[in-house]
Structure 1
Amino acid sequence: MTTTSTTAAPLGDVARAPRPSTRRPAPGRFSVARTVRYALLLLSVVVVLIPVYVLLVTSFKGTGDASPARAWALPTLWTLDNWRAAWEALSPSIWRSLQMVVPAAVISAFLGSMNGFVLSRWSFKGANVVFTLILFGMFIPYQAVMIPLNQIVLAVGLPSGIPTLILLHVIYGIPITTLIFRNYYASVPKELIEAARVDGAGMLRTYASVVLPISIPSFVVVLIWQFTSAWNDYLFAVFFSSSQNGPVTLALNNLANGALLQNYGVSMAGALFASLPTLVVYVILGKYFVGGLMSGSVKG
């Protein structure tokens, strides 16, 4: 009888399963696509910055140098006279605009926050109907209601100027602020609200102690939105204020169409002054604005 014996192969001779390739594409493989992408981005930046360039260089030109024929050329003689003239003409209205947009943005943000909390986490019978009616304010053009709104303001006896503009921007800001806060609070875990109720907290206590401290991202979004919307508004300013008590948008229009019509340098400097506050707000809070939008859009 013959016996066969099998001996185990050495450990080093055991066949190993092939590993997936981890080689990276050659650096120049997608160079064409990368170049096209960067070229398009650079072109977009140039297109966006062209008006800014024209505004900036024209604001430093003298009266004879600032003309459409020399819009692209650098100033022959750099001067700050346009900036001084624009500041003297717009500084009172800039201060009035700040007096208008700050309380309008803050008040509408808090009202929208309370509405959003009640409609999302402290719902009641007919809450969806109320929310739908509030949202109707977002889809009605301002031009369609301007004449009856003006008649209502005159009938009530509201004074022309900043107080009326604050009230109008608060009212017309409630739909968008309510929508943003309602979407944000809908992503808040229900356990937080239920725990507050178990501890005996009512609606106001739950809102002030639990909900409000975690609402900073949405408040940043709403404040930036309302600040920019109220600052750039011109239609309300025309109907409910004058050049003596109106915001900067009205004063800027009067500056461009007044006695200084041919002085493009002053108009350009005034436009830069008028846009500076919103630019500063976006530079400081821009990253929080994007984060706040995303925090209310992703749930789970």
Structure 2
Amino acid sequence: MTSTSVEAPPTPVTPEPQKPRSPRSVTAGTIVKYALAIFFLLVVLMPAYVLIVTSFKSGSEIGVTGQWNLPKEWTFSSWAKAWDALQPAFLRTFQLAIPVALISSLIGAANGFVLSRWRFPGADVVFTLILFGMFIPYQAVMIPLREIVTTVGIPPGIPTLVFVHCIYGIPICTLIFRNYYATTVPEELIEAGRVDGAGLLRTFWSIILPISIPGFVVTIIWQFTSAWNDYLFAIFLSNTRNGPITIALNALAGAQSPDYAASMAGALITSLPTLLVYILLGRWFIGGLMAGSVKS
């Protein structure tokens, strides 16, 4: 009689429990992260604090020793003085920045569409030559540019600056829109327009422009900010009587006996439009900038 051996069932393998992360290391890393964030935030906000506080001080309170102190008596006289000095240039700068942002964005959209979807011999060479304009330092072309503007006969001031900023804004706007159209707009959409009999201009106007809002947000913010903050073109191609607000702000702050409170208030007034543009359109800026970076 043979005995049958019964094998014991295999012992289940219990996975080793993972060691919990040390709460001390997590807390230390979080503390360091927030400490660095607060430190850099303070570094950024310290000049802004001095700028705002000084603009509300009277002349007797302004000094190196008391620059961190709050005003003993808050006054808006410096803001009124700065606005009186900057108001004409403030309005002229809107006449500069808005046309520049719209015109250069529209030209860049047309260039980007043609260079991305309507291929022709030498398209890459044309695109390279357009981009070459981004790498030419402005300082290197100031004197020849002034001679060209004088020869063409464009009156100095805002018309000249609109013309120059539109020309120098074409490369970056073309680059942004070319990448956007090449990676985001499907080829089937353009083919459908061709089947329906739409030509180049009709396709661009009726099909492409309505879906180009993300690209326009990016280029409008870029060009508006560049034209509003420009000083180099303005100092060469305009003056305090017909130039933008950066020229007027320099005149306000560069007097023989400068009024520091009025200068600080003027700097804040000058920065308000670009700040509002980023507040209103900033939520779409990154999305529009990244829209042409990855092909969907």
Does residue 55 (structure 1) correspond to residue 55 (structure 2)? The answer is no
The TM-score, its normalising length taken from structure 1, stands at 0.91
Of 78, 81, 96, which residue of structure 1 is paired with 2:77? Answer: 81
- The 5 A counterparts of 1:1-300 are 25=21, 27-188=23-184, 189-258=186-255, 260-261=257-258, 263-300=259-296
Length, aligned pairs only: 295
- In the superposition, relative to structure 1, how do residues 18 and 174 fare at CA in structure 2: closer, same or farther (>3 Å)? farther
Structure 2 equivalent of residue 9 of structure 1: none
Task: Write the distance in 1 (CA, Å) between the matches of 2:280 and 2:21.
Answer: 39
Q: 1:199, CA displacement in angstroms? A: 2.1
Q: CA deviation at 1:297?
A: 1.1
| Ranges in structure 1 where 5+ consecutive residues have no aligned partner | 7-12
Q: 1:253 offset after TM fit, Å?
A: 0.1
Deviations along 1:234-261, one digit per CA (max 9) or x if unpaired, are: 0111111111111000000000012551
Cα distance change of structure 1 residues 289 and 260 upon mapping to structure 2, 3 Å threshold: farther
Give how far 1:201 is off.
Answer: 1.3
**Rounded Cα–Cα distance in structure 2 between residues aligned with 1:18 and 1:215:** 58
Contact 1:221–1:292 (CA under 8 A) maintained in structure 2: yes
Checking the alignment, whether the CA contact within 8 Å between 1:164 and 1:240 is kept in structure 2 is: yes
**Quick check: 13-22 or 168-177, which moved more?**
13-22
Contact 1:160–1:241 (CA<8 Å) still a contact in 2? yes
**Partners of 1:67 and 1:264 within 8 A in 2:** no
Partners of 2:179 and 2:100 in 1: CA distance: 22
- How far 1:142 sits from its partner (Å)? 0.7
1:227/1:15 CA distance change after superposition, 3 Å: farther
Question: How many angstroms apart in 1 are the aligned matches of 2:134 and 2:65?
Answer: 43
Quote the Cα distance in structure 2 between the aligned partners of 1:236 and 1:293: 26
Superposition CA RMSD, Å: 2.2
Partner AA of 1:68 in structure 2: V
- 2: CA distance between counterparts of 1:33 and 1:210? 51
Deviations 1:49-105 (A, max 9, x none): 111001000001111211233222222221111001001110111100001100110
- CA distance change for structure 1 residues 76 and 126 in 2, over 3 Å: closer, same or farther? same
Q: Which whole-Å CA distance do the structure 1 matches of 2:115 and 2:277 have between them?
A: 30
CA distance in 1, matches of 2:245, 2:144: 25
Does the CA-based 8 Å contact 1:86-1:266 persist in structure 2? yes
**Shift, 1:210, TM fit:** 1.7
Q: How much does 1:21 deviate?
A: 6.7
Question: For 1:240-297, what per-residue CA distance to the aligned partner results, in whole angstroms no more than 9, with x for missing partners?
Answer: 1111111000000000012551x21000000000011111111111121111111111
Identity over the aligned pairs, expressed in percent? 59
Cα 1:17/1:67, change in 2 over 3 Å:
same
Give the conservation status (yes or no) of the 8 Å contact 1:97–1:248.
yes
Please, what TM-score do these two structures have when normalized by structure 2?
0.93
Tell me how far 1:2 sits from its aligned partner: 8.8
Displacement of 1:202 in angstroms is: 0.9
Unpaired runs of 5+ residues, structure 2, are none
Find the residue that maps to 1:228 and give its secondary structure: helix
- Between 22-31 and 243-252, the greater mean CA deviation after superposition: 22-31
**Structure 1 residues 14, 284: closer, same or farther in 2, change over 3 A?**
farther
Name the SS of the counterpart of 2:60 in structure 1.
Answer: coil
